[in-house]
Structure formats: structure tokens, C-alpha cells
Amino acid sequence: MNDSATDSQPPKPVHSDHAGQVRPSVPVPFPPQSPPGSTSFPRGPSQKKIGGKGNGKRDAGLVKDCLFTVRRDGILHVISENYFYKTEPYYTILNAELEGQKVRPASTDILDAYVVPICLERAKLAGIPVCEWEISQAYVPLPAIVYGLNYFATTSDFFAVNDSGHAKEVIRHVTNKGKYPFCYQKIGQGATIHSCPVVFGKTSGACSIVAPIAQKIYEIFSIPLVRMIMVRSGTRYELSSLSPMRYSQLTDADRALLSAYLANQEFL
């Protein structure tokens, strides 16, 4: 088996839900650890919710596409599942900036966070261990993680490729048959890919093992809700990318923490 792949020959239809569609990879949970202790939250000022309907429960507003704002110490914090360019959260942040308000995250930070090479370079400059990356039109070493770089690409959809057949199929998909470049990260044999929700720089449960990285990510990008994709090799964890985090995918502990921030029961 070759240790690289190109798009020189038509690939076999593998790893597809149906003909012509390639499935993104799914990260695995972090290894279980002892659950964290309970925390009491001091009260703070009020918060504002945009959209969504409540049902009387503490986290009732955490529904799909709901956007929140919390103003604290003169800074407007915008909380959403998705901050991609030309979305409502992006324009909410941009409008606040044009009005001269202090707002987090900044529009430039969210644009940088979701472009894998830029995100990793900023994280690396801050001392965060990151996956080495390259940009390519066709070549990819094996095994590797592949991200699209075209206008419609999202960091939520990445592909772990381990054989040349799958790699060729993925390359055709993410490049739209060679029209766009892609980003790859060479990973070691036996490396595993993990997902970790981050709420205002904090993690819970098994993700606590990468809590220092999560805190640094928040210090760099100031994104209240984000998913870290991490690659584990032995005992070492490296950042692969940042991607949107859906409310529905949060654990109970993460939902409770986010709800505490939204109710100003936790200091920002």
C-alpha cells in the first residue's frame, strides 16, 4: 500500500452514505475520568436572549440557532452555536463593532478561528501544541486528517483517511474535483481524534485533561462556545481545529455551565 494518495485515477465509491457523497469523520469521546465536583455560582447582572422560546426549565433557551448576548463590565459577549461568515451572529458582532461597542468575540477572531491553517498558527504562537499542517491540491500522506478550504467548507466536516482509495474519494469531494486546495495534517499510526466542548474557556468531565489548552483558546479567540478537535498520540494532545458546537451536543455538565453564564451566575 502506498503512503500517499493523489487524484490521478477515478476512486472507488467507498465510505459513502450513497453514491457521490462522502461521510465526514466523527471524533471519539475523551477517555473517561472522575466526574468533577459540584460548583456553586455567584449571581451577576442580567442577560439578553435573541430568539428561542422558553418552557420554564433552566436551559430552555438552548435551542437550535438561538443567539444570546451577555453584557459584563462594558463588554458585549455574543453566544451562539455558529459564528461563520454572513451568519446572524457574525453580523450581530460586526454591527456592535461598527457602533463602537466592545464585543467578544471580535469579527476578525471568528474568521481566523474557522480557517484551519490560520487558527493553528495563532494557537502555535500562543504556545498551544498543534498538528503540523500543509496545503495541497492532490497529495496527502497516510494516515492524515483532511479539511476543505473552499468557500463552502466547514471545520465541522473533516475526514480521517487511512488508505489510498478513501483518500482519493475524499480529495475529489473536498476539492470539488480539483477546483480548490485542501489542508491536511499527517498523524501517527494509532493516533485518535477527540472532540471537546469548550464553554467560555472551561471544560468538564473527561475533557478536563485539556483544560489548559481550552483556556488558552478562549484567551486567543474569545469564542464563548466552540468545539476543539484534538489528536491524541500517547499522552500528548494536539489541536487539529476549532468548529461550531451545537447546543444539542453539549453534555449535561456543559449545558449547566453555559446556562449559568447566560443567567450571570458565573463570572466571565
* Secondary structure letter of residue 235 according to DSSP: T
Whole-prediction pTM? 0.81
d(CA 43, CA 57): 18
Average pLDDT, the chain: 83
User: Omega of the bond prior to 244 within 30 degrees of 0, cis?
Assistant: no
Residue listed under C-alpha cell 451577576 = 44
pLDDT in the model for residue 194: 95
**27-69: per-residue pLDDT in tens?**
876 765 433 332 222 223 333 444 433 333 445 479 999 999 9
For 214-233, give one letter per residue: b (16+ CB within 10 A) or e.
Answer: bebbbebbbbbbbbbbbbbe
**107-125: per-residue pLDDT in tens?**
999 999 999 999 999 999 9
For 5-44, give one letter per residue: b (16+ CB within 10 A) or e.
Answer: bebeeebeeebeeeeeebebbebeebeeeeeeeeeeeeeb
Q: Which value, to the nearest 10 degrees, does the dihedral of the CA atoms of residues 60, 63, 69, 72 take?
A: 50
List of residues 6+ apart from 23 with CB closer than 8 A: 15, 16, 17
- Pairing state of beta strands 158-161 and 67-72? unpaired
Which of these, 125, 71, 110, lies nearest to 244 by C-alpha position? 110
- CA dist 91 → 82, 200, 252 (Å): 12, 21, 30
pLDDT in the model for residue 25: 81
* List of the chain residues with pLDDT < 70: 1-21, 29, 31-60, 266-268
